[in-house]
């Protein structure tokens, strides 16, 4: 149920290593139930995005994403809102339900999908579905001290890898203090020769 709620939200727009976990456990950790949210203060993540110099791609050197709780003027009930700041603009995204999934995770995944589609010319629907399959069915989770690190390679064996302009090496990494707490760090990175892609968000 917890992953179904998070998946529905996404579709609406989200050191010492142990042995790899069983299939699905890494996805359970990433899409753990973090609602209902009750924010005593705003939560902010730094945002850094870099990639090849291409038309339509917007790198972010020193951005931020803030999760805040506001009042919905239509019914005076609390809702969640994201405030995105890049090098050139500020915008509000939402609202999101207090009891729903993780809007910050949704934002991170959607930005990665959008950037990959723009840089490769691929279908965002195909890219999104491949990432969903990888996060929900595969991946591995390891321990680094008190933290869990979940990682996924959604395009490692993709039949279209030759047309992915380096994104076939994309790795998604999530650093978690506790599955019920906000995700401490989210990274989407490619590797190999040439200018790679990096989308990194870190809790402040």
Share of the chain above pLDDT 70, in %: 88
Determine the pLDDT at residue 194.
63
Average pLDDT over residues 112-122: 93
Query: What average pLDDT does the structure give for the chain?
Result: 85
Distance CA 130, CA 161 (A): 12
For residue 194, the tally of other CB atoms under 10 A from its CB is 8
Residues 48, 51, 54, 56: what is their CA dihedral angle, to the nearest 10 degrees? Answer: -30
- pLDDT digit string, tens, across residues 78-91: 999 999 999 889 99
- pLDDT digit string, tens, across residues 8-42: 444 444 422 333 443 478 888 898 888 788 888 99
Distance CA 126, CA 122 (A): 8
Residues 23, 25, 30, 35: what is their CA dihedral angle, to the nearest 10 degrees? Answer: 130
Of residues 84 and 157, more confidently modeled? 84
Total residue length of the chain:
204
> Rounded to 5 degrees, what are φ and ψ at 3?
-75, -30
Contact 45, 61 (CB under 8 A): no
Residue 47 confidence class, pLDDT cut points 50, 70, 90: very high
pLDDT at 58 over 50: yes
Element (DSSP H or E) covering residue 28: helix 25-30
Contact 131, 109 (CB under 8 A): yes
Determine the pLDDT at residue 12.
43
Residue 204 confidence class, pLDDT cut points 50, 70, 90: very high
């Amino acid at each position: 149920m917890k992953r179904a709620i998070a998946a529905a939200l996404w579709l609406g727009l989200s050191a010492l290593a142990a042995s790899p976990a069983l299939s699905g456990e890494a996805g359970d950790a990433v899409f753990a139930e973090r609602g209902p949210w009750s924010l005593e203060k705003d939560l902010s993540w730094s945002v850094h995005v870099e990639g090849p110099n291409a038309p339509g791609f917007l790198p972010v050197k020193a951005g931020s994403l803030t999760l805040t709780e506001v009042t919905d003027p239509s019914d005076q009930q609390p809702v969640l809102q994201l405030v995105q700041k890049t090098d050139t603009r500020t915008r509000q995204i939402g609202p999101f339900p207090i009891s729903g999934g993780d809007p910050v995770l949704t934002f991170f995944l959607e930005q990665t999908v959008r950037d990959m589609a723009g840089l490769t010319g691929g279908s965002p629907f195909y890219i999104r579905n491949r990432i969903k399959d990888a996060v929900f069915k595969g991946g591995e989770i390891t321990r680094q001290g008190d933290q869990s690190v979940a990682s996924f390679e959604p395009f490692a064996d993709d039949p279209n890898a030759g047309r992915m302009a380096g994104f076939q090496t994309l790795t998604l990494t999530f650093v978690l203090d506790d599955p019920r707490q906000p995700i401490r760090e989210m990274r989407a990175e490619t590797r190999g020769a040439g200018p790679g892609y990096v989308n990194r968000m870190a809790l402040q």
